[in-house]
């Protein structure tokens, strides 16, 4: 009986830890999706716009390009001004989100 109780308590502890982590994962995905919503004003979702299509864009490439716009090492007309408004964490979330779109 004591062993069953110990196993039950351990299972409950693991379940609680998993549930505590789940909202953060969902929040990260939602944050990335929220941040990237405005990007589609210029970067069309169907690839018909004049700017590069970002759907399925490689995460590491998007992150590096955004950081270059942000630090001024890549010239831009608009993107350099937009990129400075994002933290590195937000840029990473944007890259992750665009990388998952198809």
Cα–Cα distance between 102 and 46 in angstroms, integer?
Answer: 10
Annotation: CATH topology of 30-100: Cytochrome Bc1 Complex; Chain D, domain 2 (1.10.760)
* Greater pLDDT, 5 or 84: 84
Terminal-to-terminal C-alpha distance of the chain? 52
* Greater pLDDT, 2 or 4: 2
pLDDT band, residue 24 (cuts 50/70/90): low
Cα–Cα distance between 80 and 34 in angstroms, integer?
Answer: 20
pLDDT band, residue 10 (cuts 50/70/90): very low
Q: Which runs of consecutive H residues, i.e. helices, occur in the chain?
A: 2-36, 59-71, 79-83, 88-100
Q: Is the pLDDT of residue 89 over 60?
A: yes
């Amino acid at each position: 009986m004591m062993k069953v109780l110990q196993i039950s308590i351990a299972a409950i502890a693991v379940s609680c830890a998993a549930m505590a982590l789940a909202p953060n994962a969902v929040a990260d995905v939602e944050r990335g999706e929220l941040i990237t919503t405005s990007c589609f004003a210029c970067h069309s979702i169907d690839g018909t716009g004049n700017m590069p299509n970002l759907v399925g864009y490689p995460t590491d490439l998007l992150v590096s390009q955004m950081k270059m716009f942000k630090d001024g090492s890549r010239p831009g007309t608009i993107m350099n001004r937009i990129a400075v408004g994002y933290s590195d964490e937000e840029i990473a979330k944007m890259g992750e989100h665009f990388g998952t779109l198809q």
